[in-house]
Structure 1
Amino acid sequence: METVSPPLIALNRSPSLAHRADILENPIQTYLLGIVISICGNVLISISLNIQKYAHVRQAQRCSKPYYTSVVWWCGVVLMGVGELGNFAAYGFAPASLIAPLGCVSVIASAIISVVFLKETVRASDIVGGTLAITGTYLLVTFAPHTSTHITAHLVQYHAINWHFLLYMFLEIVLFCILLYLYKRRKVKHIVIVMLLVALLASLTIISVKAVSGMITESVRGQLQLIYPIFYVMLVVMVASCAFQIKFLNEAMKMFDATEVVPVNFVFFTTSAIVAGIIFYQEFEDLALLDIFMFLFGCLLSFLGVFLIARNRPKIKQQDRNFIAMDKIPGRRHTDKVQPEPKTSTYGSLAAKLICNRAEQTADS
């Protein structure tokens, strides 16, 4: 009797059985590595944000060169790039439904750094919010799915044609079109409308980022995945969704205060990432009901903590509005002298110049 070799048996299995085998073979060290990389990346992002904030404050006080000429500001940008690269790599090791909520670590670290280095005031809401966010993070790490699949090109193709994902994409496209119509045509400038547009795009970003990161990780391990067209499809989706996500996020930052945008974006982005992980990657499969409840409870605590930390944050002091640039005054050339002499106490004020003119008219009369 002819026997079938083990490799042929493995090839004859359905994709779902192969998917389960990949999960069972994935060690816990890989899962923990993804958590550590994500936490380190978020800490670097918080440090970079505070460095950039410090550079903006210093440039505003000096009223000298633009902020992008500052070496300190560029150091912050480089750190942010490293932190985002760490988050990107973390998706290749741990579930997307866990990596996205860990973004609250950046908010916690940013609040601590701003108090220590930027000398901002510690508020009661910061302490309560930080405690809730840390507790929520602990619950997330404890009760999140402790397994992560080996992301291969065949697995991504299998999930992309799954009817659950196709139905999810259809509903998301319909909802996105409705929101875009309200925002562009009906001119409904509400923060929920804009942030829902960002969240729907973020769902595609999470799916594509995890797919690209996972396939790169598998290629580094020795199983080349970059030869499959699905890798480049996901790469294009990742770049396009990120670009439009940044576009709508910047529009939200122009219309609303950062203390509103940051917590709302965190809640919507995290919810979108969790739903994407459940629908596309089936990350909650075989997870106990108690674990699901505690995971969602940890998300709720993190949401509340971020809202408390980001609420009514002190704003950066703006430049003195009494100063008017010379080239902005009608009827005067930019070489005209508007300000009093630098040695006077009223130097820099247009009102002081008017006072000087009135004094000269009085003396002539």
Structure 2
Amino acid sequence: MENSSSSQAEALNGTWAQAHRAEILENPLQTYLLGIIISICGNVLISVSLNIQKYAHVRQSQRGSKPYYTSALWWCGVVLMGVGELGNFAAYGFAPASLIAPLGCVSVIASAIISVVFLKETVRASDIVGGSLAITGTYVLVTFAPHTSTHITAHLVQYYSVSWYFLLYLFLEIVLFCILLYLYKVRKVKHIVIVMLLVALLASLTVISVKAVSGMITESIKGQLQLIYPIFYIMLLVMIASCAFQIKFLNQAMKMFDATEVVPINFVFFTASAILAGIVFYQEFEGLALLNIFMFLFGCLLSFLGVFLITRNRPKIKQQDRNFIAMSRIPGTRHTDTVQPEAKTPTYGSLAAKLMCNRADQTDDS
């Protein structure tokens, strides 16, 4: 009896392993390309929405009439951003997470191009070099990324969630997060790396949960209902909570540091955490050749350098101060040309100029 029960258990385990392997290996090329296209389109829409909101802010500040949230153009940008983020969310259900995350550099490239064409920002040599590196890196990582993606089901997410390597990874992440949070909140260490690491650790959980939720919704649409399992709602809760705290720390970083520092560091850390999450939780690099892994990481490095060059010392749009009055519009402009006399005259200097203006006023009044 014991031998028969053990043989039955081994047969069940073998059947489960074969089904699991077939589920991983089954991924049509059309589905893989669909995920890439959806992600690229979503990132382009995000960059368009950001520039529309930037233009709305500039226009409203110059007019100085109504708040920015009363502008229809600003709301159009918000809607486009929502559509773009929804596209990125859907892309995780079709392609590996380690590929979708690095494609975020498309948003930086498109934003730089739109800023130059429509917002009339200056084209720098670093923009051209950075854009070329980012495009090359995107092509390399798409070519050598893992071309297999798991069909995400509730049973598969449960199987991955209790694996020992993910539990070890989660334990180390929690310990590191607690240490960084102690340094940031208690010790008051306000360093950009600490804040960005907190965001990246939360982003790792976000990527895992987003891919799980998106994959289960995709399978449900195909006809295999996954929304009846508790693991779906657990992942949905993790996704919402991690996104909320991630946005909180990211906003704090934007208040303390310049955007030219936050954007490239956040992109590098987020991409690295997303790739690591895909490797550990979804085993996306399993069976991938060493050359493919090296070229994929090389493509990510090129994208990192490109984003850094594009965002480095980015020129800001000059906004006119509402409290500023042009010299030509000041009453009594006929005296403004004598505020600063010629250096060769004996009355050179601010005090002498003031006395000279007062003398001129008395003469006009007389």
TM-score range, shorter chain: 0.7 to 0.9
| Structure-to-structure mapping, 1:49-198, within 5 angstroms | 49-198=50-199
The corresponding residue for 2:218 is 217
User: For residues 257 and 60 of structure 2, what CA distance do their matches in structure 1 show?
Assistant: 24
Q: Give ranges in structure 1 of 5+ residues lacking alignment.
A: 1-8, 324-338
User: For residues 230 and 91 of structure 1, what CA distance do their matches in structure 2 show?
Assistant: 17
Q: Which amino acid aligns with 1:91?
A: Y
1:346 maps to 2:330:
yes
The corresponding residue for 2:242 is 241
Q: 1:15–1:155: 8 Å Cα contact kept in structure 2?
A: no
The corresponding residue for 1:290 is 291
C-alpha displacement at 1:319, in angstroms? Answer: 5.0
Aligned Cα root-mean-square deviation (Å): 2.3
Q: Write out per-residue CA displacement over residues 119-161 of structure 1, whole angstroms, 9 at most, x where no aligned residue.
A: 1111000000000000000011100000111000000000000
Structure 1 residues 191 and 214: CA distance shift in structure 2, 3 A: same
The corresponding residue for 1:268 is 269
Q: Write out per-residue CA displacement over residues 211-238 of structure 1, whole angstroms, 9 at most, x where no aligned residue.
A: 0000000000000000000000000000
Q: Which amino acid aligns with 1:240?
A: A
| Structure-to-structure mapping, 1:243-258, within 5 angstroms | 243-258=244-259
User: For residues 275 and 296 of structure 1, what CA distance do their matches in structure 2 show?
Assistant: 12
Q: Write out per-residue CA displacement over residues 35-55 of structure 1, whole angstroms, 9 at most, x where no aligned residue.
A: 000000000001001101110
Q: TM-score, normalised by structure 2?
A: 0.86
What percentage of residue pairs aligned between the two structures are identical? 85
C-alpha displacement at 1:26, in angstroms? Answer: 1.7
Counterpart secondary structure, 2:199: helix
Q: Which amino acid aligns with 2:56?
A: A
Q: TM-score, normalised by structure 1?
A: 0.86
C-alpha displacement at 1:306, in angstroms? Answer: 0.1
C-alpha displacement at 1:210, in angstroms? Answer: 0.0
Structure 1 residues 88 and 10: CA distance shift in structure 2, 3 A: farther
Counterpart secondary structure, 2:329: coil
Counterpart secondary structure, 1:46: helix
Q: Write out per-residue CA displacement over residues 150-193 of structure 1, whole angstroms, 9 at most, x where no aligned residue.
A: 00000000000000000000000000000000000011000000
Structure 1 residues 60 and 290: CA distance shift in structure 2, 3 A: same
User: For residues 270 and 15 of structure 2, what CA distance do their matches in structure 1 show?
Assistant: 33
User: For residues 19 and 32 of structure 1, what CA distance do their matches in structure 2 show?
Assistant: 23
C-alpha displacement at 1:313, in angstroms? Answer: 0.7
Q: Which amino acid aligns with 1:74?
A: W
| Structure-to-structure mapping, 1:266-345, within 5 angstroms | 266-318=267-319, 320=321, 322=323, 345=329
Q: Write out per-residue CA displacement over residues 68-92 of structure 1, whole angstroms, 9 at most, x where no aligned residue.
A: 1110000000000000000000000
Q: Which has the larger radius of gyration?
A: 2
The corresponding residue for 1:228 is 229
Q: 2:26–2:148: 8 Å Cα contact kept in structure 1?
A: no
